[in-house]
Amino acid sequence: MNSPLRPGKGGLLLSLRVTPKSSRDEVSGLHVTSDGTVSLAVKVTAVPDNGRANKAVIETLAKACRMPKSAFELVSGETERNKTILVTGNPAELEAWIARKVNAGKEN
């Protein structure tokens, strides 16, 4: 299985599949499309209005990965369900965390 991470200018690019208006904020696993593209599935309670859901996505990722919110920057998909986040700083913890998610997906 592929990873939702790829090298980017100044850090790593993280592909996301976001579900707003969910019952809770969580990273729910991996989302795989029919063409094999892998994204990290993120659910947030916020509504997609005036950037509220985007802000909640970054807060949820930061909490789940134990990284500062400032390490995450939305680079594409501001009004879409599919988003790309640039992760800066030292993303080693994120890489390890994503690897665990990918490996967990292989076991299912």
Q: Please report which confidence band the pLDDT of residue 108 belongs to, taking 50, 70 and 90 as the band edges.
A: very low
CA end-to-end span of the chain = 12
What would the pLDDT profile of 50-98 be if each residue is shown by its tens digit? 999 999 999 999 998 888 999 999 999 999 999 999 998 777 777 787 7
Q: What is the mean pLDDT of the chain?
A: 88
- Residue 75: helix, strand or coil by DSSP? strand
Q: Please report which confidence band the pLDDT of residue 105 belongs to, taking 50, 70 and 90 as the band edges.
A: low
- Region 5-15: what's the mean pLDDT? 90
Q: Please report which confidence band the pLDDT of residue 102 belongs to, taking 50, 70 and 90 as the band edges.
A: low
Q: How far is CA 34 from CA 2, 100, 101, in A?
A: 13, 22, 19
Nearest-CA neighbor of 103 among 27, 3, 31? 3
pTM: 0.86
